Every structure is written in structure tokens, then in C-alpha cells.
Chains A and B, each alone.
Chain A
């Protein structure tokens, strides 16, 4: 039973804090190098384990600037069979609503007869966890989010997941979409031999909006429904008492001022011992 699997992966900034471009209201992503989003990497690992157990052909799909090719190369090194990079200036700044539409177009056009679509449950930069579920809607697939384990019996997929403190076992028929959580599928490390293979692999496709039959008016129909009106710094309503100085004296000052409060919470006294 050779499964035809699509894994959607996203390249995210390597750091969690990036400067904000006040003028355009967007993240200065150019200031950081990228990496494969951790949950997406686990989705790929899940695909690789399925490949080892049942046999599979793995297509990895990513949407981003040309530099996103790196994540496809990394996927090859881990064991993916084919890579598709969707890149077009017109698609930049897409929110999850648009992204899920674009990914769906690519999957339907480039991966005929797919059995399983895997995504990371959420990304480390936007963390909305929306693309997977919205992609399931676009492709009209049975789906489950936050999966920690997948097993197959013929065309029936069983998913085990942890949601809201319940461990659930779900069942659905292929084709299906599953998003993978951070609970399981620890990604394998890529050997140097793998990296070599990655750079020789010819099965890397580049697709732009025109290739996917996405015109600007079509994109408009699927574009962001939300709009950022304002960006501002979070205000604090706290007293904000500042303590400076050498560490030892700062500690004394802090504990003397707040020993009552801390002591009450921990149920012990931390008053300074009386001297003499």
C-alpha cells in the first residue's frame, strides 16, 4: 500500500523577536535566517515513519520567498521525494485564509491522487493554528488537528490526539488531512550524506501564481478579510518599582520590601533575621 503523502511546511524566522517595521506594519523577516517550523518538521517526520512502515511517496510543499527553497532541501535530506516551492511576490503577506486557498490550489494541481495531507499544528511565528483546518475545508477532507499518532488499516486512518485534556482516538477514511502537534514524532537528524543527496535532488518544482492559475482578481476573492487598523505597544498598569545596584544589595532591598507578600504565598517567613 504505497501512500501518496503531501507535507506542508513553513519556513519561520529563527528568532522569536524581530523588529517591527512601523511604516508597513509587518515583521522585518529579512533580518533573520529561517528554519523549518518545528511542528511542520514533526509532520514530515510522521510522513517519513509512515514511509518506512507502509511505503509512501512524499511531496513537500512550501510557500514563501525564494529562500524558502532551503526548507525543501532540508526535507530532501530527511527523506522526502519531491519538493514544490510556491513563490510569487503577489502572494506575499497572505493570511491563513488566503494561504489555505493557495496551498489547496497547488495540491490539487501538482499532487494528483494524494491520500494524506500533513501539516504542523501551528507555527512558531504566528501560532494561529488556522492553516491546517482551513486547508481541510478548502480540500473538503475529513480532518483532525493536534495528532500525536497515526496508524493505518487499509484505507482507514486512526488518529490519536490530546485535546483539552482528553486523549481521543478518531477514525476516518483516506484521503484525509491531519495536523501534527509537538507531543510526538521527534524529528530525525539529517546526516551529512543526506545533505549531499539534498543538493543533487532534481525533483524540485517552482511554481508562481500564474502556474497555479491564480490571478489577482481570484486572489482578491480569497484575500484577507481582516485588516490591521493600528499597532501599539502594550501598556502596563503596574506600579513598576525599579531596583538597581549591586546584586547583593538589590536582593536585600527586594526581599525587605516584599517579604510579607512572598512569605504569605509560600507559607513561610522570609524576614531578615534580627541582628544582635
Chain B
């Protein structure tokens, strides 16, 4: 029986590289998982002119790089990547494939999982290895305030997508080396049926909620759209942005662009105020990078209160008014 080294693959999603560090973050986690499984970490990089990514992924944890460099692969093409990954996966039988849950990844991964007839957990907030060597995919459970530990028992590869910001990248290590396999473009690569005509970077606002240092977030517990609006005042005093939960957006107290949480804007504030939010997992799953959380809720048992650094038991609207009043007295340059 052939003794095969287990392989953990990370797909190189290198577009938007400087804002999008998810591949590096996944490589870091893959290194941890590889230690437990005595496996090899392999980054898959396909494109045209990919030397920089090969070096980056080597320096950030990969033991092996599977690289396909060809002019045909100049732009991101989900179809090309599907065809290539399916072929590579069938040939080499990786144990695990990790893909960043960027918009691209969230379209690419389920299609790849279908082609490989295997299971996929989306938007994992954690990964681990069980005592029987299975990948534990820790994902928010639907609509509850819980997490689920999910495994793919029989099918391979085990696949998971992970949101940017879930794991921390390993610092760049200039000494690290990797085995780089430069593979040819398969000659049976089908022509894509979806053609990319043009693309442009969407206008990046200088200041967005995504890079806000202070975020003032409100939930249903604010009571009304009018009371919710008062959060603007606190945000302004603190030089921050206002965020909203899904129920608030549905109630039209805030626009869809204010939605934060797992399916909304990806935030990483230094201080997060959470007013009248009970803490459904789709919201709290997106708060992992908030450094200091202050939650205000009438209910001390609310999940949001339990995950906060400071939990103030009070009516959200009432406390907001007092906080604004007191800050106005105290703030000076």
C-alpha cells in the first residue's frame, strides 16, 4: 500500500493582495493543522506572472507550491480555476482544501466541491483536527447563538471556506524555502463560457466602516428608528461610524450598507459599542477582530453581553442619551 503524505492545500486568491491577506492567514492555520496531521502545506497558484505570490506564499508557510503560469490565465476566471483545481485534486488527492471566503471564494468553492462530489463548510470561524484525524469545521449554526462542529467523514478532500480576518498570518520569513512545482497548462483546458469583458476597481472611499477605529452599532433593542438615529450623534463625538444588525436593516432604520456582521461589512474596530443587540451568531461571528467591545442591553444574559469586555445593563436608548450628554461635557482636545 502506497504511503502517501497528507496534503493540506490552500488556494492562492491573490487578487487585491494588499487588502486581502486571507491566503496568508489560511497558510498560517494550515501550518498548525499540518503539525497535528504530519502533513504538508501546499499553496496552489495559477495565473500569469505569479512569481511574487510564489515567494510570498513560501515565506508565509507553504512547504510546496503548485504553480501554473500562463498568459491564458491572465485574468481571474472561475471556470479556468475550476478546471485546473479539479484536475490537480483528482491527480493528487489532497486531504484538505482551504479557500478564503472572499466573493470569489464563495462562488468558486461550492462549485469545486460539487465537481469533486465532496462536502464543504462555508464561512468557518475556526478549524481543528479531531482525535481521529478529521478536519473539524467550526461554523456558525443557522440562526442560533451557537457554533457547530462539522466534519466530512467519508468524502475527500475535506473543504472549508474561511472569512478574511479569522486567522492571523505568520510573519514573512525570508529564510523559508518550498518545493516549487511549475506545471504546464493542460492542453485540454476548455474555453471558458463566461468572458470577462472589463473590470475596474470599485471607487474606494477613503474612510469606510471597514477601516473605522470606532464603530457604534445598534440593534432592535434601540426601540425605534428615531432612537436608532441618535447613534449618529455618538459616532460623531467619537469620530466613528454607525453599524446595524440585520433586523434593523429590515425595519428600515438603517440602509443595507450599514449592515455589519458575517454577511455584512467586515469590521475590525479598536472600540465597538453594541447598543441593544442580543447577539445572533450571524452578527457576532463577524466581530472577531473587534479589540474592545462595550455592550449595552437590558438583558444581562444576552449573548452579546457575555462576549463583551464591558457589559452595561441598561436600556440602550436611555444609556445612549446619558453617554452623549456626559461625553459632550468631558471631551476636549
Contacts and interface: CB of A to CB of B under 8 A. Distances in A.
B187 interface: no
Interface of A: 13, 15-20, 25, 27, 38, 96-97, 100, 122, 124-130, 133-134, 136-138, 142-146, 158, 162-173, 182, 224-234, 236, 238-244, 247-248, 250-252, 254-255, 257-259, 261-262, 265-273
B23 to A, nearest CB: 13
9 contacts: A18-B144, A129-B122, A130-B110, A133-B114, A166-B15, A238-B308, A238-B309, A247-B314, A251-B323
A163 B246 CA distance: 21
B120 to A, nearest CB: 7
A165 B331 contact: no
A168 B137 contact: no
A239 B103 CA distance: 35
Nearest to B160: A226
B177 to A, nearest CB: 30
Given A164-B102, A226-B150, A266-B238, A250 B332 contact: no
Interface in B92-114: 102-104, 106-108, 110-111, 113-114
Contacts of B312: 242-244, 250, 254
B319 interface: yes
Contacts of B293: 238
B311 A96 contact: no
A259 B309 CA distance: 14
Contacts of B284: 234
A265 B245 CA distance: 24
Contacts of A240: 306, 308-311
Interface string B137-172: 100011111111111111100000000000000000
Interface string B174-208: 00000000000000000001111111111010000
Interface residues of B, number: 99
Contacts of A265: 213-214, 270-271
When A and B form their complex, which 9 residue pairs have the shortest distance between CB atoms, in order from nearest?
Answer: A225-B119, A142-B193, A226-B119, A130-B110, A163-B103, A20-B144, A137-B114, A128-B122, A145-B107
Contacts of B252: none
Given A122-B263, A234-B307, A165 B200 contact: no
A142 B200 contact: no
Contact of B107 (A146, A231, A255): A146
A245 to B, nearest CB: 8
A198 B86 CA distance: 45
B329 A27 contact: no
A158 to B, nearest CB: 7
Contact of A137 (B115, B145, B198): B115
B294 interface: yes
A167 B202 contact: yes
A210 to B, nearest CB: 25
Contacts of B150: 226-229
For chain A, what secondary structure do more than half of its interface residues adopt (helix, strand, loop), or is it mixed?
mixed
Contacts of A162: 103, 202
A226 B195 contact: no
Interface in B298-316: 300, 303, 306-315
Given A129-B106, A130-B120, A255-B330, A136 B311 contact: no
B41 interface: no
B212 to A, nearest CB: 11
Contacts of A169: 196-199
B25 interface: no
A216 B166 CA distance: 38
Contacts of A228: 141, 148-150
A236 B307 contact: yes
Contacts of A138: 114
B148 to A, nearest CB: 5
Contacts of A268: 331-333
B151 A227 contact: yes
B319 to A, nearest CB: 5
B199 A27 contact: no
A97 B307 contact: no
B119 A125 contact: no
Contacts of B7: none
Contacts of A239: 309
A232 to B, nearest CB: 6
A162 B111 CA distance: 19
A225 B330 contact: no
B3 interface: no
Contacts of A97: 113-114, 119-120
B318 interface: yes
